Amino acid sequence: MKHYQNILYLMNPSAEGTYGLKQALSMARNSSAPLHLLMLYPALPKELQAQQEAFEAFLSERMEASLKNAQKALGGEVVEPTREVMMADSSPVVTITRYVLRHEYDLLVKEAEDTGGESGFKALDMSLLRKCPSALYLARPISHPREKIRVAVAVDPITESEDARDLNIRLLQDSRSMADSCSGTLDIVSCWEYPYEEYLRHNPWLKVTEKELSDAVTNIENEHRTALDVLIADADIKGKKRVHHLRGEAAELLDKFVRDEKVDIMVMGTVARTGIAGFVIGNTAENVFEKLNCSLLALKPAGYVSPIKAYD
């Protein structure tokens, strides 16, 4: 797995399970990286502030119990993380992002907020996808044993900028590393379509023959597949992989692919203009995020600048 240097796991004080913590511990072990556990709680009302010390002690005990259960469930050699319970001094997104920036974490792991069985991610997670500068792993329960965990990555080989291409290379390399620590097989998914096909076919003013239209579609498909093969070759990833070259709208096809193939972890990128604070998540990525029902590892382009600063 990619060797992250500094991993932060955000613990939910009200969460009962430990699936997110177990995944964070596994990622830290596979990366040989230090892991820090952070549990945030909202400011207590004025009439309860005298109980803050006792409340923090209660949360610390809860954290220790969860950690012990997760380590026991994993077995073998486990990481011994550092721990901290802290009152949020601002909104959760601002507090978390500032913490990531101040301590230079390159991976933030947290359980995806409960959506009540619905797909997609709730407001806090979507805000972190937009504003947190580090890689973000949103964990959902995984029922398969480690050696059967399915990892997939979505890439777009047709890019207009060097930083977008670099992001696609990182997506392939990071997902390859993650797949190596799971089932060993990486599913690479890329979607293509010819947006003018229906317009050209049904426009009475344009005299386009069916053969001309078919040739145009075939050319687009071949161009996209060639670019995809070149991208994979440039990423220089080894190991077993399956390439899925799908025709149609990415948001719909990726959702269907995840469900049909029972993907456990999807690796995707967000789109940003380098150096412009807060410009993140293109329409396609956001539409996909709103439909996903699996764990997500989201990477931002190099040079992404968060609209939230480390210090006021």
Please tell me the predicted confidence (pLDDT) of residue 108: 98
> 3-class DSSP state for residue 111?
strand
What are the residue boundaries of the structural domains of the chain, listed by start?
A: 1-111, 143-312
Q: How far is CA 254 from CA 236, 268, 289, in A?
A: 24, 11, 10
Q: What is the 8-class DSSP label of residue 45?
A: P
Please tell me the predicted confidence (pLDDT) of residue 277: 41
266 phi and psi angles, rounded to 5 deg: -105, 135
The yes/no answer on whether domain 1-111 falls in CATH 3.40.50.620 is: yes
- Indicate if 143-312 has the same CATH topology as 1-111: yes
Please tell me the predicted confidence (pLDDT) of residue 205: 59
Chain-centre distance for alpha carbon 298:
3
Question: What's the CA gap between 272 and 195, in Å, rounded?
Answer: 23
Q: How far is CA 131 from CA 5, 48, 195, 199, in A?
A: 20, 32, 31, 38
Report the length, in residues, of the chain.
312
Please tell me the predicted confidence (pLDDT) of residue 161: 83
Q: What is the CATH number of domain 143-312?
A: 3.40.50.620
Q: Which residues of the chain have pLDDT under 50?
A: 272-280
Class of residue 18 by CB neighbours under 10 A (exposed 0-12, middle 13-18, buried 19+): buried
> 3-class DSSP state for residue 138?
strand
